[in-house]
Amino acid sequence: MKKIILTLLLASGFLFSFGQWTWQNPLPQGNGLFSVAFSDSNIGYAIGGLGTILKTDDGGITWNYVQRPTTKNLYSIAVIDNSSCVVVGESGVSYKTSDGANTWVALETSTNQDLNSVFFPDANTGYAVGDSGVILKIDINETNWTVLPNTDHHS
């Protein structure tokens, strides 16, 4: 009898504890985040799994979900100015925005390799690198990346 009462007591406590869970990450998403970048001390973006894009306008105190241009993982973001940035990710996806992430334009990469990092040394020219040694270059006013020659890294 003691075992039955103890089992019922433990089971009821176990069931009630699940009803009190509250998601603490920025709502409404719970995907992994892989990269973060800021254009100044207030405006920033975080990107991640399943095309997740979050934006902050208050230095990271609050994060708001941005309409995603893809459901593929996004691995890297380069912020060019307060309203422009470029993202790259899974299977060669790449997108740019010039209106603070309200709309996104697809950038043709001519690769299906995952793109792991993107960097803009200046406001006009960007580079992306990815799996199998792929290196890409873009002029921000274009919509196509150029594949750059790469030395044979397997030699």
pLDDT at 150: 83
Question: Closest Cα partner for 81 from 93, 98, 96, 65?
Answer: 98
32-147: CATH topology is Neuraminidase (2.120.10)
Could you tell me the pTM of the whole model? 0.80
- Hey, what are 89's tokens? 């990710």
**pLDDT over 90, % of the chain:** 75
pLDDT at 30: 78
All structural domains of the chain with their residue ranges: 32-147
**pLDDT by residue (tens digit) across 76-135?**
999 999 999 999 999 999 999 999 999 999 999 999 999 999 999 999 999 999 999 999
